[in-house]
Structure 1
Amino acid sequence: MLSGLSLHLGLLVAGIFVLYAGAELLVAGAGRLALGIGLRAATVGVTVIALATTAPELFVSAIGAVNVSTDIGLGAVIGSNIANIGLVLGVSALIKPLHISQTAMHRHVPFMLFAVVLLIVLGVDGTIGSLEGAIFLLVLGGFTAYLVHSVNANPAPDVDNPDASVGLSLRDVALVLGGLVALVLGSRWLVSGGTALLSALGVSDLVIGLTVLALGTSLPELAASVVGAVRGESEFAIGNVVGSNIYNILAVLGIVALITPIEIASSTLWLELPVLAVFTVALVGMMAYGRTVTRLDGAALVAGYVGFLALLIP
């Protein structure tokens, strides 16, 4: 029994490590490739990097939904979004207060709030099917097109970015391919090890997705936002989380719903989704008030996240 649990734990830890490494490779390679073909740095940060840091959630949710249950996929997305706000931004704000730009408040934050509302409205009947998945992806396409148009309509030269040279690099292509391979392997190990370990302890698939898998897939956002906070790059730390939360719902759930219908448990409708809505609205309120997420706000977010985890533990 102990040897089996040790094996599952080892697979879980290895999955988290490989998943994190894969996300880092993908973010680095995708960002440099996008700059190489002429996209501006701001466009890359809002679209390419946000989508790349969502890749762990996509792989874990898709593999978990197909191989285990849709509770795994849905739990990973909702849990990751809550962790992004409560843990990632909370810890980042504790390190250094995060100042909110006018661009983030007017262009990005409203879409994050809209994505949560859309998820609740389309999921209130207990199922997210292929039609809802298609709606998510259409909204995602509109969001991405709007951002690209907004950024390119107000051009500003990337004078501080020496890496923004035109051209494709085989090294960056290799980083992207290597990152994708690592994400596939890491996702499989994380889902397999985490599910087997916690199932042996009597934990449900939904709670597994909301806790271990959600925390594991939020590692890229945590690392990126903490580094941004330490360097004083508040806009990057905020944009990373806001963009990831948007893509988690619209891209991840949209794609998974096209693969297989997602059943939403009544407990999710009455607990996890309302908690996600509360965290999102609270964050928007913190951003709007003084355009800063203070250390006190960060402490409140972390405390709220710890309280949420306590509710999940039987």
Structure 2
Amino acid sequence: MLLSLGLLAAGIVALYAGAELLVAGAGRLALGIGLRAATVGVTVIAFATTAPELFVATIGALDVSTDIGLGAVLGSNIANIGLVLGVSALIKPLRISQIAMRRHVPFMLFATVLLVVLGADGTIGTLEGAIFLLTLGGFTAYLVSSTNVNPAVGGDKTGAGDGITLRAVVLVLGGLMALVLGSRWLVSGGTGLLSALGVSDLVIGLTVLALGTSLPELAASVVGSVRGETEFAIGNVVGSNIYNILAVLGIVALITPIEIASSTLRLEFPALVVFTIVLVAMMGYGGRLTRLDGAVLVGGYVAFLALLVV
């Protein structure tokens, strides 16, 4: 029990540190080769912050079961909406930009619906995985082609960059190593601890692993909210939820088919859809998330966790 707790704590810390290093390094590399700053924010950084879910889902699916990977993604997306945005809105109301409402939020809803439709038969296989990744490729291409950049912001160049630096490479490699170790520790510690208590793999993924992999998003969004950068908090969660479904489940499904239990189709899938629709409705009404909205989201997340253990 103590060993599992230690592995769990070490895994969470390593995942958080790895995500931070990977985000910093990926951003430096992308800018170094000439990608625009705004493009980096909605593509490279969004994917980098999803790396913990990708590593945990892949390693969990290979070492334990696909329930671990599916649970981590579903739980992480629900936690991103209910916990991350809920807590951020409680700290400071979050303003929703028109660009986010037009480009990113509708696609988050589309990705959620696509997951439910393709997984309705109880399996996400190679074909579904390929569809997810092709959809992600189309979305990323759309973002790159439609992103408007203000060259004066931060003094970033929009042409050729300053080249790849050793510091950026070291940050990326260090982040990847920390993510690999953290994923293994988190999966081992979380499954060992809850399995001893008789908890199923799916619930383990939905709770401990999902919360652990959502720490980078939680930390980044809370810090952004405290600093008044509320649009960053929104973009962080919306982008992460899109990549969690399309990239993480797409890659895992290509490696091994994901079996979906009937109980998941009855509870977790509807819960994800409800959280997503409620969030979109809140965003569309008044153009911001208020503290009351934040309280509702956090309350809904607590109720969801309660349903898991009933």
TM-score, structure 2 normalization: 0.97
Contact 1:129 1:261 in 2 (8 A): yes
1:170 is aligned to: 166
* CA distance in 2: counterparts of 1:121 and 1:112, whole angstroms: 14
Contact 1:92 1:237 in 2 (8 A): yes
2:150 is aligned to: 156
* CA distance in 2: counterparts of 1:40 and 1:98, whole angstroms: 25
Amino acid at match of 2:111: A
Contact 1:78 1:276 in 2 (8 A): yes
* CA distance in 1: counterparts of 2:279 and 2:149, whole angstroms: 29
2:282 is aligned to: 286
1:142 is aligned to: 138
Amino acid at match of 2:153: V
1:73 to 69, 82, 100: 69
* CA distance in 2: counterparts of 1:204 and 1:264, whole angstroms: 14
Q: 1:106 to 1:10 in 2, by over 3 A?
A: same
2:236 to 235, 240, 243: 240
Amino acid at match of 2:170: A
* CA distance in 2: counterparts of 1:163 and 1:33, whole angstroms: 13
Is structure 2 residue 11 aligned with structure 1 residue 15?
yes
**SS of equivalent to 1:157:** coil
2:120 is aligned to: 124
Quote the offset at 1:235 in angstroms. Answer: 1.3
Amino acid at match of 1:70: T
1:298 is aligned to: 294
**SS of equivalent to 2:150:** coil
* CA distance in 1: counterparts of 2:287 and 2:31, whole angstroms: 30
1:58 is aligned to: 54
1:1-314 equivalence runs, <5 A: 5-151=1-147, 154-161=148-155, 166-314=162-310
Amino acid at match of 2:150: A
* Number of residue pairs the alignment of both structures matches: 308
* CA distance in 1: counterparts of 2:192 and 2:238, whole angstroms: 32
The root-mean-square deviation of aligned C-alpha atoms, in Å, is 1.1
* CA distance in 2: counterparts of 1:174 and 1:310, whole angstroms: 42
* CA distance in 2: counterparts of 1:248 and 1:163, whole angstroms: 30
Amino acid at match of 1:271: L
TM-score, structure 1 normalization: 0.96
Contact 1:23 1:179 in 2 (8 A): yes
Quote the offset at 1:36 in angstroms. Answer: 1.7
Quote the offset at 1:124 in angstroms. Answer: 0.2
* CA distance in 2: counterparts of 1:160 and 1:173, whole angstroms: 22
* CA distance in 2: counterparts of 1:61 and 1:187, whole angstroms: 9
Quote the offset at 1:37 in angstroms. Answer: 1.6
Quote the offset at 1:163 in angstroms. Answer: 9.1
Quote the offset at 1:42 in angstroms. Answer: 1.4
Question: What fraction of aligned residue pairs are identical, expressed as a percent?
Answer: 82
Contact 1:134 1:258 in 2 (8 A): yes
* CA distance in 2: counterparts of 1:41 and 1:163, whole angstroms: 8
Could you list the runs of 5+ residues in structure 2 that have no partner in the other structure? Answer: none
* CA distance in 1: counterparts of 2:37 and 2:157, whole angstroms: 10
Quote the offset at 1:39 in angstroms. Answer: 1.5
Quote the offset at 1:68 in angstroms. Answer: 0.2
**SS of equivalent to 1:160:** helix
String of CA shifts for 1:50-75, please: whole Å, max 9, x gaps.
10000000000000001100000000
* CA distance in 1: counterparts of 2:113 and 2:22, whole angstroms: 30
